[in-house]
């Protein structure tokens, strides 16, 4: 990579770009030093308290870390194992709080319920690190949960184990419709398609589960143009549509 490309940045300001990259490197280093916990299989604390002690609850926030890219590759496997463990993955999605934790409550708002938008962020994060099968498992669970709610995902659903109850138990006061829940399927489809903007074009790296067959998306707007995307399994293509 040429130096000019490396330091190209916001508003074409190389000085600002360099500073922001330096700040990002510092944040990456400090975060992974301060929040990582080696015990219980390795995972990230959910917070630091007022005395900078780690709040050591296992939460779905770890999926957001994968989405952001702040997790070093050598720690990704441990994070994925935590998220997809029976204590965190209910069968309908990743719980906001692990069943291992004392405050876990399958009907607690942030204490064990499953949030669709939260899971879509995790699915994108797992796909980013190459855990496509695990990402697809989340996506399929979300689509199957949607069938339980008239094909409209609610704000949240309970964290009860799917194998035990066989149906998705609603969260009693969940908003439906809700904007970020409505956006969940779009994020899940993006994770399956592996679609990203690169050098003025949309590119695909698909991994579409056999259960879904073929995915076709038309009139996808990017770079001031419209695109058509199509994928089956791990094969796909992008076409530029006429204006």
Phi/psi of residue 204, nearest 5 degrees: -115, 145
Instruction: Return the pLDDT at 8.
Output: 58
Residues 75 and 120 in one domain: yes
Residues 151 and 66 in one domain: yes
Residues 183 and 200 in one domain: no
Residues 105 and 58 in one domain: yes
Q: Facing residues of 230 across strands?
A: 216, 237
Calculate what percentage of the chain has a pLDDT beyond 70: 95
To the nearest 10 degrees (0 to 180), the angle between helices 61-68 and 73-83 is: 150
pLDDT tens digits for 14-71?
A: 888 889 889 999 999 999 999 999 999 999 999 999 999 999 999 999 999 999 999 9
Phi/psi of residue 52, nearest 5 degrees: 65, 25
Mean pLDDT by 10 residues, the chain (243 residues): 50 82 95 98 97 97 98 98 98 98 96 98 98 98 96 97 92 94 97 94 96 95 95 96 82
Residues 131 and 27 in one domain: no
Phi/psi of residue 13, nearest 5 degrees: -110, 95
Residues 53 and 75 in one domain: yes
Instruction: Return the pLDDT at 3.
Output: 43
Number of domains in the chain: 3
Residue 181: both structure tokens together: 């829940």
Residues 66 and 152 in one domain: yes
Residue pair 64/125 in contact by the 8 Å Cβ criterion: yes
Residue 38 makes CB contacts below 8 A (sequence gap 6+) with none
**In terms of residue numbers, what domain contains 214?**
194-243
DSSP string, 15-43: HHHHHHHHHHHHHHHHHHHHSEE-STTSE
Instruction: Return the pLDDT at 139.
Output: 98
Residues 240 and 151 in one domain: no
Instruction: Return the pLDDT at 41.
Output: 97
Residues 8 and 29 in one domain: yes
Instruction: Return the pLDDT at 6.
Output: 46
- Which of 55, 116, 114, 65 has its CA nearest to residue 88? 114
DSSP state of 11: G
Residues 77 and 15 in one domain: no
Residues 236 and 176 in one domain: no
CATH number of the domain that residue 83 is part of: 1.50.10.10
């Amino acid at each position: 990579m040429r130096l000019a490309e490396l330091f190209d940045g916001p508003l074409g300001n190389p000085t600002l770009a360099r500073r922001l990259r330096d700040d990002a490197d510092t944040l990456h280093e400090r975060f992974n030093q301060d929040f990582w916990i080696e015990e219980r299989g390795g995972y990230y604390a959910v917070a630091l308290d007022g005395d900078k002690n780690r709040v050591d609850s296992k939460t779905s926030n770890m999926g957001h870390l994968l989405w952001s890219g702040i997790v070093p590759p050598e720690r990704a496997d441990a994070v994925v194992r935590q998220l997809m463990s029976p204590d965190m993955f209910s069968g309908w999605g990743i719980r906001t709080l692990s069943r291992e934790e004392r405050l876990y409550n399958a009907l607690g708002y942030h204490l064990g319920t499953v949030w669709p938008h939260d899971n879509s962020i995790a699915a994108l994060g797992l796909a980013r690190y190459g855990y496509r099968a695990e990402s697809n498992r989340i996506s399929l669970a979300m689509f199957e949960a949607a069938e339980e709610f008239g094909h409209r995902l609610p704000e949240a659903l309970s964290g009860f184990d799917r194998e035990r109850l066989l149906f998705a138990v609603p969260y009693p006061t969940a908003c439906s419709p809700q904007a970020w829940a409505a956006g969940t399927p779009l994020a899940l489809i993006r994770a399956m398609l592996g679609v990203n903007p690169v050098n003025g074009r949309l590119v695909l790296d698909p991994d579409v589960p056999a259960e879904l067959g073929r995915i076709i998306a038309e009139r996808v707007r990017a770079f001031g143009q419209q695109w058509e995307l199509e994928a089956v399994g791990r094969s796909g293509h992008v076409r530029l549509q006429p204006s």
